[in-house]
């Protein structure tokens, strides 16, 4: 495995513990006057469209979701639901206990770090509040790029912001959105976080055919980086 200068991470399920929708999502549906089961069904089948920003702002997106479910909330209800959904997703987000120590250990070794996430409007707003925020050199969000993994644009955007070629970057993810295959096709080295708790993770587009290396804990990334060989330039290069 080559020597790396940066490690890029997926967010949900990788830097965080497994995600499941909590009670705040039912509260959001209630504010919209939408049956919770219909609300969730539309959310599930439209994730990638919403994560690419296809329907516009957060309010416009929830309006579209409601239209699919056959309800038409007021503008006041939409605004309240946007705030409620923001709180709900934030409440569902719990960092892994080894997320901060892992990022600190990598940075102590001179590594650059970053996150690449398929997400809707909420994550870019609350990630700055999280303990991992000051430990991330780059943050790439699908909702801002307008594309989702495994599109190479997300990985290449992260590499460009770091000023590094893809071959110098390691990508770590749980395998959602075919992200590992996408990272590899973009020229990065990819490893899967196969933590046992991910059996309960809400995930779409699982990279089920992935046969590359895997780690059981996030902290193992540090050992992987430490064990990668240092490439010594030849004289004159």
Count Cβ atoms within 10 A of the Cβ of residue 196 and give its class: 0-12 exposed, 13-18 middle, 19 or more buried. Answer: exposed
With beta carbons less than 8 A apart as the criterion, state whether 13 and 174 touch. yes
Residues 187-230: tens digit of each pLDDT = 999 999 999 999 988 999 898 888 889 999 999 999 999 887 64
pLDDT of residue 2: 63
Largest CA distance in the chain: 70
pLDDT of residue 33: 95
Q: Which residues of the chain have pLDDT under 50?
A: 230-237
pLDDT of residue 229: 62
First to last CA, the chain: 21
Tokens representing 2?
Answer: 């080559």
6-19+93-227 adopts what CATH topology? Answer: Rossmann fold (3.40.50)
Residue ranges of the domains in the chain?
6-19+93-227, 23-92
Q: Helices 220-227 & 99-108, crossing angle to 10 degrees?
A: 20
pLDDT of residue 209: 82
pLDDT of residue 207: 87
d(CA 95, CA 3): 27
């Amino acid at each position: 495995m080559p020597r790396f200068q940066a490690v890029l991470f997926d967010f949900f399920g990788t830097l965080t513990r497994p995600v499941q929708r909590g009670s705040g999502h039912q509260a959001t549906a209630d504010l919209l006057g939408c049956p919770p089961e219909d609300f969730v069904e539309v959310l599930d089948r439209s994730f990638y469209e919403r994560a690419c920003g296809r329907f516009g702002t957060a309010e416009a997106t929830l309006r579209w979701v409601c239209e699919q479910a056959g309800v038409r909330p007021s503008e006041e209800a939409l605004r309240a639901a946007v705030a409620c959904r923001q709180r709900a997703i934030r409440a569902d987000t719990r960092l892994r206990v080894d997320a901060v120590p892992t990022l600190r250990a990598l940075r102590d070794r001179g590594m650059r770090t970053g996150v690449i996430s398929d997400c809707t409007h909420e994550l870019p707003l609350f990630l700055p509040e999280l303990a991992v925020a000051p430990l991330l050199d780059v943050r790439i969000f699908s909702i801002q790029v307008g594309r989702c993994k495994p599109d190479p644009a997300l990985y290449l955007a992260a590499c460009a912001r770091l000023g590094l070629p893809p071959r110098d970057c390691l990508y770590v993810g749980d395998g959602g959105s075919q992200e590992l295959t996408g990272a590899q096709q973009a020229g990065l080295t990819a490893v899967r976080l196969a933590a046992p708790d991910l059996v309960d993770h809400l995930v779409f587009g699982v990279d089920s055919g992935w046969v590359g290396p895997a780690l059981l804990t996030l902290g193992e990334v540090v050992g992987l980086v430490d064990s990668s060989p240092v490439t010594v330039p030849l004289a004159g290069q």
